[in-house]
Structure 1
Amino acid sequence: MNSTTQKLSFTVNLSFEAHSIAQELVSKISNQKKRQQIYLNSLAVFAVNHYLLCMGFETDYLEGDSRNPVAVQLMNVADLIVKDIGKLECIPILAETEVVEIPPEVWEDRVGYIFVELNDSLKEANILGFIPKARDKVFLSKLNSLEDFLVYLTELEVVESVQAETTSHVISFRQWWDGVIDTSWQKVEQLLNPQQLGLAYRSNMSLITRGQKIDLGMHLDQISVALVMKVMSESDSEEVDILTQVYPVGEMALPEGIKLIIGDETGEGSEVVSREDDNWIQSEFSAESGERFSITVAYGDSEVKKEFEV
């Protein structure tokens, strides 16, 4: 282990409580290899939970799959839910380990992966560092520091708080038609370059066209996209046609896996997912006066949800 990682580690004593929890999870498992996997995973989660509480973060220690006796038998899982942030995966490692492979079943639905070195006696755990996204092989000498980890979590916490406030605000198309439009909704020419506009705006603009920049992910892997709304209505109709699109900001193609999700008041909806080299994605639908719907743009564990009313 290099000196940088050692300097940034945080030591947790693995108490009788830590081992009691692990022992309870493996008590009905006969396969020795599976017992060891679950036991070490449990100790790693316990250590990270203690560390985060010391650092001032709240957790849902009891709610993760890592505390579910059935889930741990079916999967190699060591998740810890951090309140208002998301799931961390706690990766246990033994002394002298240099390279780690992350289990494929935990590559999704995680805000980060934190690595925990357990000593030979399993009485101490050292929190070493983290990575924000899973990859095939992780070299422990290349981990991001715990200092970066705390900054990363703090930024995610701020983003979740801002998004919660945004979600509670319903955007009214009636106000848009009256000329009252929040300044965060810009004209698309201000958000997208001429080449992008040419892809889908060759014809005349609709009655109202506005866009808003959305940041998905923070600190180490920030993705910026533009959510564009085209609202079309005929004077003698109660029905409104809505075209919603997602474009990359600063790039010509979207990352693969960007989701555009439309939801109605009943909870039903539709989803479009970007493929490799997609220049934009879109969904077109109609809504009646007074109807509410939501639009969610998501990428990995990050998502932004907007509520609208016709």
Structure 2
Amino acid sequence: MTQQPFTRRGAIDLSALKRPAPAAPAGAPAAGGGAPAGAGAYTVQVSVESFQAVLEASMTAPVLLVLYSAARSPETAQYAADVAALAESYDGRFLAALVDVDTAPEIAQALQVQQIPQLLVVLDGRPVTQPLPGIIPGAELSALLNELGQQLTAQGVTGRHQPQAGAPATEAGEDDGPVTDPRFVPAEDALMAGDVDGAVAAYQKLVDAHPADHEAAARLAMVKVLQRTQDADLQAARAAAAAAPDDVDAQLLVADLDLVGGHVEDAFARLIGLVQRTADKERDRVRERLLEMFAAVGNDDPRVLKGRQGLASALF
């Protein structure tokens, strides 16, 4: 399947949800039944009452809206469960929202659904792809979601859904402070223990498993900076860089130290200047390090936006 690029169509028309529901087909189950098995932390069964909340959730990260009929087409219910299981593997990058058109016909009417099963990708309350009818094979669906994730990351959409179920409950009044994303616990535990190499390995494993995970990639880039600078002598590094302004290794080390020390713009400026003075493989090394730094700081940071402009000017 060839994936179309994201477009911002109009918001979903919720007015249909206020109209009288059409008569359910003969043999359709009563409202509330037909939920496919396999619901998890990033899967919700959608009712008319909860549909608005699902659209609001799409303001944070994409929602995979799957319309099916458990009573009339059990294979479509299985497909909905398969989509949900795949969504779970992305750890919040997608939320699977499952709609049984027999128990919530108003939603199908609002979406003008003509065929089931149907998959819609919703972001910011709007469909961002053409409707995807029919049962998409697992491998093809996985490739589709990977491509969507990469497109979202390239557009700066990096949010994640919070788990919908299965989160450990806390006692009333208990305040444990900020909750750590469970994906990052092994790496953060390694950092707390002073094991920078272990943190790098943990983040690398996560990025290898989920290449479109922008947040994990940013954290990996930052701990790699810590890894490269953990044994560095700041004064000696600055002296070496000042004595050899075109020594790529010396300049890269000082840029890393500047980044760790919070001198973000200084680090970017140093490497942009180095890009202008180098060529071929050395220039590629500097450019790649600069891109890693951009990821570590965050693509939405105004200093990164300015740095990207500087890099483009230096290259072209």
Q: TM-score, normalised by structure 2?
A: 0.28
Could you say which structure has the greater relative contact order, defined with CA pairs below 8 angstroms and 6 or more residues apart? Answer: 2
Give the structure with the larger helix fraction. Answer: 2
Q: TM-score, normalised by structure 1?
A: 0.28
Give the structure with the larger strand fraction. Answer: 1
